[in-house]
Amino acid sequence: MSDFAGLLRARGYRATSQRLVIHEALHDAGRHLTAEQVLSMVAPRLPGISLPTVYATLDVLEELGLVRRVHTPTKLLFDPRPEEHAHALCRRCGRVEDVEARADLSAALAGAGRVGYEPHGAEVLVTGLCADCR
């Protein structure tokens, strides 16, 4: 935890209890979580914490390269594994799994730029049915 506090300070952020506890909870969960799930996990340790505070902290963690946003058709998830990888989404139960695959998304990023977007990234989301739902 002290490494994280040091990283925050080195990047000009305060090492607040909210940031420390949210980072720890997401890391300890080891799975994709919604901001609401993070809130329910940290609320016992941080009475009075609000959902906007959780989102703001997750934004900081993303900026620091410690989490990744995973956009699914129905929800926004936060992945404690920030390195490049793909995701698989079960269309029936909503389960999201990491997939060990890297894709060359440079054509998609360039295409977005050609139509006026300033792309910040791209991701691969494979949809289908998980082993349990098949």
Question: Alpha-carbon distance 45 to 22, whole Å?
Answer: 10
Q: What is the pTM of this model?
A: 0.85
Q: Give the pLDDT confidence score for residue 133 in this predicted structure.
A: 96
Task: Give the three-class secondary structure for 94.
Answer: coil
48: left (phi over 0), alpha (psi -120 to 50) or beta: left
If asked whether residues 65 and 20 sit together in one domain, one would say: yes
Q: Give the pLDDT confidence score for residue 2 in this predicted structure.
A: 66
If asked whether residues 14 and 50 sit together in one domain, one would say: yes
Average pLDDT per consecutive 10 residues, the chain (134 residues; last block may be shorter): 86 94 95 96 96 97 94 92 92 92 89 94 92 94
Q: Render pLDDT for 17-28 as a digit per residue (tens, 0 to 9).
A: 999 999 999 999
What's 33's DSSP letter? B
Q: Give the pLDDT confidence score for residue 89 in this predicted structure.
A: 94
Q: Which residues contact 16 (CB under 8 A, 6 or more apart)?
A: none
- Residue 134 inside a domain? The answer is no
**Helix (H) / strand (E) containing 71:** strand 68-71
If asked whether residues 71 and 7 sit together in one domain, one would say: yes
If asked whether residues 93 and 33 sit together in one domain, one would say: no
If asked whether residues 44 and 73 sit together in one domain, one would say: yes
Quote the distance between the C-alpha of residue 33 and its chain's center. 7
* Residue 93 structural domain: 84-128
- The number of residues making up the chain comes to 134
Question: Alpha-carbon distance 37 to 94, whole Å?
Answer: 15
The CATH number assigned to the domain holding 15 equals 1.10.10.10
